[in-house]
């Protein structure tokens, strides 16, 4: 990196490892698609409580949408990445790439 350009900012909401994994997993789904909470939990190898805490932070930032519904009599929770969340993840990945691309210039 050159001395006159500051390093890119990394979104602190996404930067936490668990939240980055959540956003990356949801980003793979097409826009408008959602994943059931248990499937996401199993995919990421997280406990329900841990995933719930991180989803709350992502929801508070407007990055995910959580829909609670029923399938028959069974409650089901679906999670989807919002447009804002997709843009934030795109910006985050650009910032990481910029950091890595410029890492060779650091002395």
Give the model's pLDDT for residue 29: 95
Fold of domain 12-105: Arc Repressor Mutant, subunit A (1.10.10)
Domain residue ranges in the chain: 12-105
φ/ψ region of 16 (left if φ > 0, alpha if ψ in -120 to 50, else beta) reads: beta
Phi, psi values for residue 27, rounded to 5°: -65, -25
Q: What is the mean pLDDT of each run of 10 residues along the chain (107 residues)?
A: 67 96 96 95 97 98 96 94 97 92 67
Please say whether the beta carbons of 54 and 18 come within 8 A.
Answer: yes
């Amino acid at each position: 990196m050159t001395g006159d350009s500051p390093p890119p900012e990394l979104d602190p909401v996404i930067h936490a490892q668990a939240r980055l994994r959540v956003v990356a997993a949801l980003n793979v789904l097409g826009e408008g698609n959602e994943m059931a909470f248990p499937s996401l939990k199993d995919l990421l190898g997280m406990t329900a409580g841990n995933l719930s805490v991180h989803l709350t932070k992502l929801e508070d930032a407007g990055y995910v949408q959580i829909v609670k519904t029923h399938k028959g009599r069974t409650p089901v929770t679906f999670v989807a990445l919002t447009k804002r969340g997709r843009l934030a993840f795109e910006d985050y990945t650009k910032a990481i790439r910029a950091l890595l691309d410029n890492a060779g210039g650091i002395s």
